[in-house]
């Protein structure tokens, strides 16, 4: 038998993700590539207790098919948690998803036809690029470094704009307040949706928390939200990623379309993890563990940046991020190919994410993303020394 060929988009995937996922199974490798929290922050005993209570007190909700948009209790909890002066949310503004990743998948499914345009922060989260590839979109870059940032030309005619405004994945960059206002304004002017992907919004290690574009766009009118922002949140970085609980907040007509997408996607999110998530939020557990997460992450960010100052400053340049999980480092030598660096780094016992994975065209080879949340200060320092050695090895043998 000659098997039929797979769909076209599968031939356009880049193997970088598979390489670093594969490498991360080696216990001697220091993995700076992923975006994983440290398991020590998970409140295991409390979650075990919540799981038992969920099952015994709410067997129907835990074990039956859930409503496609999510359990009503959890939708109400998310609506209440994000409502504030000037932002009114009801259950109809909220759906539960199986991790923030599924929200990206559903957004592509319900908004994109072949060759539709996405105006994306550049570089962009590789998971979003993966999620949208099967829909065959084209990309325009939102240049947040431009002096007079005017997103309207990029947004005009696009199906949606995409940003991670708080500590962008991969760059760790904060989208500034004036830029947030400009994006919202441009979304209204051009009639384009604005996808605000916010997994790191609770991870500010210093500085004032900026208002979300969801809030900014709501302040213009009263009543339940009907604006252009599609806001994505998740418990993965606030509680535990294995629960696979995220949410979308948007205008009811957008939620309704996404629910149709989810009906043909996974039907519903697991009831058990939804019940656990709801109690974890309403009981205050999520807020209670946040200071510990912030302290650990901040300490590790500082340890990573100190190691980078000591061992990497002649090879790369970077900005210290005010929050999130990543440092983005650009090679000083434009000849350095970071795809090649990934392969050599793995031989040296360290793994990073190369910039090509964050470029829809796979053409950016000049930078790397380094995670600081998973490893101890000691391992971060050792990993950076290995990375420096690997970088020198690549430069020494550069063709």
DSSP string for residues in 6-69:
PPGGGGG--THHHHHHHHTT-TTSEE-SS-PPPGGGS-HHHHHHHHHHHHHH-HHHHHSPPPTT
In angstroms, give the least distance from the CB of 248 to its own copies: 13
In angstroms, give the least distance from the CB of 316 to its own copies: 27
256: Cβ contacts below 8 Å, ≥ 6 apart: none
CA distance linking residue 323 with residue 32, whole number of Å? 17
In angstroms, give the least distance from the CB of 289 to its own copies: 12
By C-beta, is 177 or 220 nearer to its own copies?
A: 220
By C-beta, is 242 or 309 nearer to its own copies?
A: 242
In angstroms, give the least distance from the CB of 147 to its own copies: 27
By C-beta, is 276 or 304 nearer to its own copies?
A: 276
By C-beta, is 49 or 333 nearer to its own copies?
A: 49
Reported for 185-188, long-range contacts at CB under 8 A and 24+ positions apart, including other chains, are: 185/152, 186/150, 186/151, 186/152, 186/155, 186/161, 187/155, 187/161, 187/217, 187/228, 187/229, 188/217, 188/220, 188/227, 188/228
CA distance linking residue 201 with residue 179, whole number of Å? 16
Cis check for the bond before 123: say yes or no (omega within 30 of 0).
yes
By C-beta, is 39 or 153 nearer to its own copies?
A: 39
In angstroms, give the least distance from the CB of 197 to its own copies: 14
- Cα 296 to Cα 233, 343, 357, distances in angstroms: 21, 30, 27
In angstroms, give the least distance from the CB of 366 to its own copies: 25
Asked if 151 and 186 touch (Cβ cutoff 8 Å), the reply is yes
309, containing H or E segment: helix 285-311
Q: Quick check: helix, strand or coil at residue 247?
A: strand
In angstroms, give the least distance from the CB of 320 to its own copies: 26
CA distance linking residue 218 with residue 348, whole number of Å? 50
CA distance linking residue 370 with residue 355, whole number of Å? 11
In angstroms, give the least distance from the CB of 194 to its own copies: 11
In angstroms, give the least distance from the CB of 302 to its own copies: 25
CA distance linking residue 301 with residue 370, whole number of Å? 10
By C-beta, is 366 or 371 nearer to its own copies?
A: 371
Direct distance between the N- and C-terminal alpha carbons of the chain, in angstroms, rounded to an integer: 43
CA distance linking residue 184 with residue 90, whole number of Å? 21
By C-beta, is 260 or 376 nearer to its own copies?
A: 260
Beta bridge partners of 118: 139, 160
By C-beta, is 56 or 334 nearer to its own copies?
A: 56
CA distance linking residue 140 with residue 156, whole number of Å? 10
User: In terms of Cα–Cα distance, which of 387, 371, 391, 87 is closest to 250?
Assistant: 87
By C-beta, is 128 or 367 nearer to its own copies?
A: 128
By C-beta, is 54 or 89 nearer to its own copies?
A: 54
In angstroms, give the least distance from the CB of 16 to its own copies: 12
* Ramachandran angles phi, psi of 234, nearest 5°: -155, 155
């Amino acid at each position: 038998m000659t098997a039929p060929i797979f769909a076209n988009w599968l031939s356009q995937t880049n193997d970088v993700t598979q390489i670093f996922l594969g490498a991360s199974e080696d216990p001697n490798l220091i993995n700076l590539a992923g975006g994983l929290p440290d398991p020590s922050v998970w409140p295991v005993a409390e979650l075990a207790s919540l799981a038992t209570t969920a099952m015994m007190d709410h067997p129907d909700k835990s074990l039956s098919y859930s409503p496609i948009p999510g359990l009503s209790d959890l939708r109400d909890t998310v609506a209440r948690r994000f409502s504030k002066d000037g932002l009114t949310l009801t259950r109809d503004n909220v759906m539960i998803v199986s991790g923030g990743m599924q929200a990206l998948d559903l957004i592509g499914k319900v908004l994109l036809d072949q060759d539709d345009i996405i105006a994306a922060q550049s570089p962009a989260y590789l998971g979003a690029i993966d999620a949208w590839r099967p829909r065959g979109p084209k990309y325009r870059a939102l240049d947040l470094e431009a002096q007079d940032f005017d997103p309207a030309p990029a947004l005009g005619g696009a199906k949606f704009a995409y940003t991670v405004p708080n500590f962008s994945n991969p760059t760790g960059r904060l989208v500034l307040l004036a830029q947030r206002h400009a994006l919202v304004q441009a979304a209204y002017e051009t009639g384009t949706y604005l996808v605000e992907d916010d997994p790191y919004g609770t991870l500010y290690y210093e500085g004032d928390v900026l208002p979300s574009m969801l809030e900014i766009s709501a302040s213009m009118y009263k009543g339940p939200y009907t604006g252009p922002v599609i806001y994505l949140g998740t418990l993965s970085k606030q509680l535990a990623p294995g629960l696979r609980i995220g949410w979308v907040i948007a205008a009811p007509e957008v939620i309704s379309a996404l629910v149709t997408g989810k009906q043909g996607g996974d039907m519903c999110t697991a009831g058990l993890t939804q019940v656990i998530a709801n109690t974890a939020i309403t009981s205050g557990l999520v807020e209670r563990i946040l200071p510990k997460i912030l302290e650990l992450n901040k300490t590790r960010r500082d340890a990573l940046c100190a190691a980078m100052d000591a061992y990497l400053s002649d090879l790369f340049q970077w900005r210290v991020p005010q929050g999130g999980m990543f440092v983005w480092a650009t090679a000083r030598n434009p000849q350095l190919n970071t795809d090649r660096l990934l392969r050599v780094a793995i031989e040296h016992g360290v793994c990073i994410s190369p910039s090509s994975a964050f470029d829809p065209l796979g053409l950016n080879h000049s930078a790397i993303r380094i995670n600081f949340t998973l490893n101890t200060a000691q391992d971060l320092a050792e990993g950076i020394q290995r990375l420096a050695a690997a970088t020198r090895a690549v430069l020494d043998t550069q063709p």
